[in-house]
Structure 1
């Protein structure tokens, strides 16, 4: 999916724009990181003309030292790593098989978390990847704080455990993946779970998890459909609505 460092910068920028386009972030909130090696990661940083995630360019995606948190490819000092960089550094350190970390603030997830929603598979075929994500378990981190210290990040990583998606109560989400597409799609699936739950509640009833027999009937449609095709859809929709990089 990438063409060297320039391609990875572009992937992160597109991922940020997709999240903004789909309402997962507002204004300048949220960020994405991609591991480069054991010491460095590409991180969506904030520059001197910050305009928000919906307008992210590859220039906003900078190489950051995972130990010091410093932006190391910005001699002029124009770019700063996000204050919640410990979200990324702690997850990448704890999960060596993870190469991408997403942090977003989907409003529906925030509302659902404050309402005490258990993120269960309340639907099936409507969104099979989201149902499987919920069935695997989506923990909720109980603290509604800016995660800007190693200690706070350690608590968050403990809440994440071996899951691939974490709800931060009253705050947002953290999702992980092998690349930008996988991590962002998981954030979108989590948002779908929250949105449908809230709509059911608005209709006057409390949603329940689907039966295990129904869950067992949900097929894995494969990465070509669930990932490549779906991610292509989001990129094409971005371009169609005039929010693409080109």
Structure 2
């Protein structure tokens, strides 16, 4: 198993742990469900696992994040840590798409509700949330099954639904979002994409609750929504999310 330089390796472990806390603070996950991974080599990645002292995503610490291979072999065998049941979500996305360097699996309640209601994923909003509007305009695929993705064949079917898109909604289950490029940046990118889908779901549910039809914004308005770039969409948002974790999170240290 190839391992990156130690300083980079530890930085990525911390990035994954913090990302898990972000998922909890923003409501993208509830309690103990959900996980984040980041690629460390062609056939290895770091992932947030499980253990006998599990306290949930909000209380993730660095030692919860360990390295495994695409085939699920752990870096170090241990009785106090296990891979998540849905590890194939991460391994099969990373196997099928070499450009992907981070994967987020979350269960945002609005996304689950909107998917069960079979609401369309439309660019209902404009400047309110430009990344969400652009994401919906370009298409958000839906995997129609609500199964626990604990086998490779199920993960492969989910990956086929994802295709080359940055996110896929899992009906009655949640979502999977990916990030590319520099691993640390990719983790932040995947999280912000998950937040964009959550934003769309909340708005769709709010509009649908009024009885009004769901209509996309006009093409001429879409044309006025620029891509603000990663410096704003990802980096600035990530700084905000880190500040939220510091202010709203449990306050427990990442290293225990």
Question: Taking structure 1 as the reference length, what is the TM-score of the superposition?
Answer: 0.95
After superposition, the Cα gap between the structure-2 partners of 1:50 and 1:173, relative to the gap in structure 1 and judged at 3 Å, is same
1:27 is displaced (CA, Å) by: 1.1
Cα RMSD between the aligned structures? 1.3
- Find the counterpart in structure 1 of residue 23 from structure 2: 19
2:158 to 156, 159, 167: 156
1:137 is displaced (CA, Å) by: 0.6
Which residue is equivalent to 1:71? 74
Shift of 1:80: 0.4
Cα separation, 2, equivalents of 1:133 and 1:222: 13
Deviation at 1:244, TM superposition (A): 5.1
Q: CA deviation at 1:241?
A: 1.7
Structure 1 stretches of at least 4 aligned residues deviating more than 4 Å after TM superposition: none
The match for 1:90 is: 92
Distance 1:160 1:245 in 2: 36
User: Does the CA contact (< 8 Å) of 1:31 and 1:104 recur in 2?
Assistant: yes
SS of 1:125's equivalent? coil
Aligned residues: 243
Of 195-204 and 16-25, deviating more is 195-204
**Deviations, residues 62-113 of structure 1 (Å, cap 9, x unaligned):** 111212x12213x433210011111111000111000001100011000000
If the length of structure 2 is used for normalisation, what is the TM-score?
0.92
Q: Does 1:197 align with 2:204?
A: yes
Match of 1:225 among 225, 228, 232: 232
The offset of 1:231, in angstroms, is 0.7
Residue number in structure 1 paired with 2:143: 141
Q: Any unmatched runs of 5+ in structure 2?
A: 1-5, 181-185
The answer to whether 1:60 aligns with 2:64 is yes
Q: 1:244 to 1:188 in 2, by over 3 A?
A: farther
Partner Cα separation in structure 2 for residue 193 and residue 120 of structure 1: 8
* Separation in 2, partners of 1:76, 1:134: 42
Does the CA-based 8 Å contact 2:70-2:92 persist in structure 1? Answer: no
Is residue 31 from structure 1 mapped to residue 35 from structure 2 by the alignment?
Answer: yes
Deviation at 1:225, TM superposition (A): 1.2
Contact 2:102 2:190 in 1 (8 A): yes
